[in-house]
Each structure stands twice: as structure tokens, then as C-alpha cells.
Structure 1
């Protein structure tokens, strides 16, 4: 039986419910990452005994599932467009924005699908946008491909943000610190393609990079859907 199927226990002296528990867990994760979340710490945040929480949640993994589903409510579009590209594009950008607000989400994206109502609604929206445009297998592969890009791009962006905080070096600071070594290596002539990219390439910010890559993936999906 999943955590969504189990009824909640009756209210006791300190009012508790899964909604309050999940809100407290998300607040802890926003402050200190997933490592800051435990049933003991959540209970302390709610001024309740740790054992009380086990009536609502059996494991920390269940708590993580509930947290992820709660954030999917932020990802779910209010009024899905009728255009499949716009639905998937919106899904990508809303997922990125939600993860920037809750960086810990990056650590939980891309695993087994969560079965909460919000996550299922997001999945329904993305699949329904492509319904009837191709056979079911093609539609599923298309959604998986777009999802893989979204997850990978977001994880890379969050990893860079964490590296900046851990080292105290901004991207520019890091480039200045490592520039001499990189120039020395490129001057050997062994890396002509990298050299051209470094010296002649255009640098864009994370949002532009994400949007461009997402559009390219959607172009590839469109080409596949257009095949007879």
C-alpha cells in the first residue's frame, strides 16, 4: 500500500497531518538540502514527538515522494495549451523554475516515477499533448527524450550553482583562476576544436542555454512525429 493509499491517523493533542509534515520537510530541504531532512528534524520543526510521524509516513523515502509530489503542483500548468510543443516547452521551464526554488529537487529528478496526484497530473498533461500525433510507443519515447534533456540540463545547472557556493568562486572567478592552465594546454595545438570553442564561441547564460537546447530537442521530436 502506498503512502497515498493509507488513511491518516486521528488528530491528537498536537495537530498533525501529511500536509503540515510535508511543508515542514520542504522548508528544511530548502534551507539545507535533503541531508537536512529527517523524521526527527521534521518532528522537531512541528514540535511533535518523532514517533508521531510514523503514523503518517513509514520511511524517509515516502517523505521524499510526498515532497516531490508537492513541488509537482508548482510544475503543473494552470491552463495547458493545445499545442504540444508549447505544453512540453512550458513543462521544461516550469520544472527548471521549480528546481531553482527548491534545489534539492534536482537530486530526486529522473528516478522512478512518483505516483502522487500532482505528478500523475503532470504526466497526464505531457502525454495528452501528444495523443493522436503518433503511435503510443513513439509518443512515450518522445516524452522520455524531452524529460531526459530537462533533467540533465537542470542537474548540470544546479551542480554549477553548488560548486560556486562550495568554492566561493563565481563562474568568472573560476575562469580567471584556471585560465592560465587552459591557455597553456590549448597553445599546444592538441585541442583545435576546444580552442575554437573557447576563443570564438559565444557565451550565454543558463536560461538561454536551457531554452535553446529544449527547442532543439523539440525540433527533433517534431521531425520524428512528421514521419509517416
Structure 2
């Protein structure tokens, strides 16, 4: 039985309910990451005994599932475009924005799909945007490809943000401190392609990089969708 199919306890003492449990868990994760979330810690946040929470959830994984579904409600836009590219683009950018608000989301992306109502609605929006443009297998692979890009890009960005906080070094600070080493290594001539990228490449911020990569993925999917069947 999933946590969404689990009925709330009859005659549950007010004011404890599933919505308050989710809100407390999300707040703890926003403050301290997933390691700050446990049934006991959520119960303490609500001034309740841990056993009371087990009437609503069966394990910490249930909390994670509920938290991800709660954030999926932030990802789904109120209105959706009739253009498949715009729909997928909006969903991708809203996912990134949600992950920047809730960094712990990056740690839970890419696993088994969430089966909560909001997660299913996000998946439905992706598939519906592509519906009728190709056979269902191609549609599913296209949605998975966009999802894989979004997950990877978000995880990298969040990892960089965490590294900056852990070391106290901004990207510019890191480049300054390690620049001499990189310069010496490039001067050996062993890495000509890397040297060209370092010296001639355009430096993009995270938002620009995400948007550019996403457009390339969507371009590739568009080419696949318009290619005549073999």
C-alpha cells in the first residue's frame, strides 16, 4: 500500500494531519537537507510523539515520497501551452527552480517515479505534450531523455552550490586558486582540446548553461519526431 492509499487514522487528534506532517518534513529538509528528516524529528517539530506519526506513515521513505509530491505541486504550471516544446521547456525550468528552493530534491530526482497525485500530473503533462507526435514508445523515450538531462544538470548545479558553501570558495575564487596548476598542465601540450576550451570557450552561468543544453535536447527530439519511419 502506498502512502497515498494509506487512510488517515480515524478520530485522529487535532491538529495533527498529513498536510502538517508534510509541511514539517519539507521545512526540516529545507533547513538541513534529507539527513535532518526522520519520523522522530518531524514529530518533535510538531510537538507530537513519534508513534502518532505512524498512524499516517509507515517509514521515513514515506516522508520522502510525500515531500517530493508536495514539490511536484510547485512544478506543474497552472496553464499549459499547446506547443510540446514550450510545455517541456516550462516544466524543465520549473523543476530547476523548485530544486533551487529545495536543494534536497536533487538527491531524490532520477529514482523510481513518484506515484503521488502531483507527480502523476507532472508525468501526464509531459506525455500529453508529446501525444500524437509519434508512437507511444518514442514519446516515452523522448520524455525520459528530457528528464535525464534535467536531473543531471540540476544535480551538477546543486553539487557546485554545496561545494561553494563547504569550501567558502566561489567559482571565481576556485579558478583563482587552482588557475596556476591548470595553466602549468595546459602548457605541457598534453591537453590541446582542453586548452582551446579554457582559452577560447565562453563562460556561461548555470541558468544560461541549463537553458542552452535543454534547447539542444529539444532540438534532437524534434528531429527524431519529424524523421520519417524507416
TM bucket by the smaller chain?
over 0.9
Structure 1: 5+ residue stretches without partners: none
Name the counterpart of 1:4.
Answer: 4
1:59 equivalenced with 2:49 (yes/no): no
Name the counterpart of 1:123.
Answer: 123
Q: Deviations over 1:159-201 (max 9, x none)?
A: 0000000001000000101001000000000000000100111
Name the counterpart of 2:25.
Answer: 25
- Normalised TM-score (structure 2): 0.98
Name the counterpart of 2:151.
Answer: 151
Take 2:154 and 2:3, find their aligned partners in 1: how far apart are those partners?
A: 28
Measure how far apart 1:6 and its partner are. Answer: 1.2
Measure how far apart 1:203 and its partner are. Answer: 0.3
1:26-175 equivalent positions in 2, closer than 5 A = 26-175=26-175
Measure how far apart 1:12 and its partner are. Answer: 4.2
Residue 14 of structure 1 contacts residue 48 of structure 1 at CA under 8 Å; is this kept in 2? no
Measure how far apart 1:13 and its partner are. Answer: 4.2
Measure how far apart 1:14 and its partner are. Answer: 4.9
Number of residue-to-residue matches in the alignment: 228
Q: Deviations over 1:9-59 (max 9, x none)?
A: 034445211110000000000000000001111001000001110000000
**3-state SS in 2 of match to 1:103:** coil
- Normalised TM-score (structure 1): 0.99
**3-state SS in 2 of match to 1:82:** coil
Take 1:32 and 1:11, find their aligned partners in 2: how far apart are those partners?
A: 33
Take 2:212 and 2:11, find their aligned partners in 1: how far apart are those partners?
A: 50
Name the counterpart of 1:220.
Answer: 220
Which of structure 1's runs of 4+ aligned residues deviate more than 6 A?
none
Structure 2: 5+ residue stretches without partners: none
Take 1:30 and 1:53, find their aligned partners in 2: how far apart are those partners?
A: 20
Take 1:115 and 1:192, find their aligned partners in 2: how far apart are those partners?
A: 48
Take 1:9 and 1:43, find their aligned partners in 2: how far apart are those partners?
A: 16
